[in-house]
């Protein structure tokens, strides 16, 4: 009888989601789908029938089947025709992402090209010489997070005190994720503003963060040192940064070129000589052949830009952010309720 408490369309939407999960698994994009465990996943459901959804933008109200009229806080103006609505919960807060459809003019790219080299000491260094300092949101909350995780581990699982401790840990994780997400959005805006083409490294973050412990027969070397570097790598959010570039450059009508990252910081940008001896320290680049010296991240950004321009000129662009023709664009707008 509990199925009658939920709208029929929301229950039916679980079937295509299940099918999509297995398609991603067979395409080797994700792991095999698992059942949602109690307390381990966020709750969400979708309303696909636009005829049953009413949004009053003037006073911030939305009507959903079997929930009635609800008030929401408008994070942005809802533009276009409402297509579907997804209701989700995260850390005790409910969100209403609204998918809308509207026609937009094809943006025209303008501005120069720029190469971007990402790193740990400098989050992003541009070929022009400027750079963006890292946020390190996890490092700022690491000790506080560890304290409340220890408190949670001492509680009886699924008890009321355990649930309160878990909610505290979740809020800290949400604060870290929100700060990192806001930082990445601002970094993208800073880099892509008034630039027609952005060249970045095609980094394999998953391979860069694999465990170095090895096996009992073949143990790894410098495991603790590598573990710290891998944790710092994951903290930067390079994969999300790349993902934002791919779809946001399409919105702006610009181009995104992903180039091979091999030897970008060991090759002289003025002479083209490649040697590991050119990288004197983590930050200093000094060519042993021509004597050219500069910051290693800056040299890497210049080389990334040069490779990207060659790849773009040869028609072998790895990623193009600009759509091929003008079509109506569906824009998702997340509105906290």
Domain ranges of the chain: 2-102, 113-321
297 is catalytic: yes
Report pLDDT for 131: 94
- Are the CB atoms for 313 and 54 separated by under 8 Å? no
Complete DSSP assignment for 280-306: -SSSEEE-TTT--EEEHHHHHHHHHHH
Catalytic residue among 117, 142, 217, 327: 117
- Are the CB atoms for 195 and 249 separated by under 8 Å? no
Per 3-state DSSP, the chain is made up of helix, strand and coil in percentages (nearest 5) of: 40, 20, 40
Output the CA angle 138-140-145, nearest 5 degrees.
65
17 is catalytic: no
Q: Which two tokens stand for residue 238?
A: 């390079």
Report pLDDT for 2: 67
pLDDT digits (tens, 9 = 90+) for 30-65: 889 988 776 555 688 899 999 999 999 888 899 999
pLDDT digits (tens, 9 = 90+) for 70-112: 999 988 888 889 999 999 888 888 999 999 999 988 888 888 9
Q: Under 8 Å CB-to-CB from 205, ≥6 apart: which residues?
A: 233, 234, 238, 239
Catalytic residue among 58, 81, 297, 327: 297
277 is catalytic: no
Report pLDDT for 46: 92
Report pLDDT for 319: 44
Low-confidence ranges of the chain (pLDDT < 70): 1-2, 38-42, 216, 316-337
- Are the CB atoms for 22 and 28 separated by under 8 Å? no
Q: Which two tokens stand for residue 323?
A: 């759509």
Catalytic residue among 5, 31, 201, 327: 201
């Amino acid at each position: 009888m509990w199925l009658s408490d939920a709208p029929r369309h929301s229950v039916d939407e679980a079937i295509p989601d299940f099918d999509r999960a297995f398609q991603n698994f067979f395409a080797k994009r994700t792991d095999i789908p698992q059942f949602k465990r109690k307390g381990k996943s966020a709750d969400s459901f979708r309303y696909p029938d636009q005829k049953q959804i009413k949004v009053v933008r003037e006073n911030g109200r939305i009507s959903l089947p079997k929930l009635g009229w609800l008030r929401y806080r408008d994070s942005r103006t809802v533009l276009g025709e409402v297509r579907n609505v997804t209701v989700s919960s995260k850390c005790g807060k409910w969100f209403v992402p609204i998918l809308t459809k509207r026609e937009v003019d094809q943006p025209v790219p303008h501005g120069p090209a720029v190469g971007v080299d990402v790193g740990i000491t400098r989050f992003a260094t541009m070929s022009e010489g400027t750079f963006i300092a890292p946020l390190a949101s996890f490092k700022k909350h690491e000790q506080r997070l560890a304290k409340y995780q220890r408190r949670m581990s001492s509680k009886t699982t699924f008890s009321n005190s355990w649930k309160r401790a878990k909610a505290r840990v979740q809020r800290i994780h949400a604060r870290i994720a929100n700060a990192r997400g806001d930082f990445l959005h601002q970094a993208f805006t800073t880099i892509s503003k008034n630039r027609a083409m952005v060249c970045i490294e095609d980094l394999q973050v998953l391979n860069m963060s694999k465990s170095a412990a090895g096996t009992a027969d073949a143990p790894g070397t410098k495991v603790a040192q590598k573990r710290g570097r891998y944790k710092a790598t994951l903290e930067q959010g390079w994969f999300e940064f790349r993902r934002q570039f791919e779809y946001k450059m399409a919105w702006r009508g610009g181009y995104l070129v992903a180039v091979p990252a091999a030897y970008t910081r060991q090759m002289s940008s003025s002479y083209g000589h490649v040697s590991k001896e050119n990288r004197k320290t983590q930050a200093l680049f000094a060519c042993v052949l021509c004597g050219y010296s500069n910051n290693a991240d800056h040299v890497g950004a210049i080389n990334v830009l040069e490779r990207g321009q060659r790849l773009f000129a040869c028609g072998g662009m790895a990623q193009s952010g600009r759509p091929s023709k003008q079509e109506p664009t569906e824009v998702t707008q997340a509105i906290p309720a």
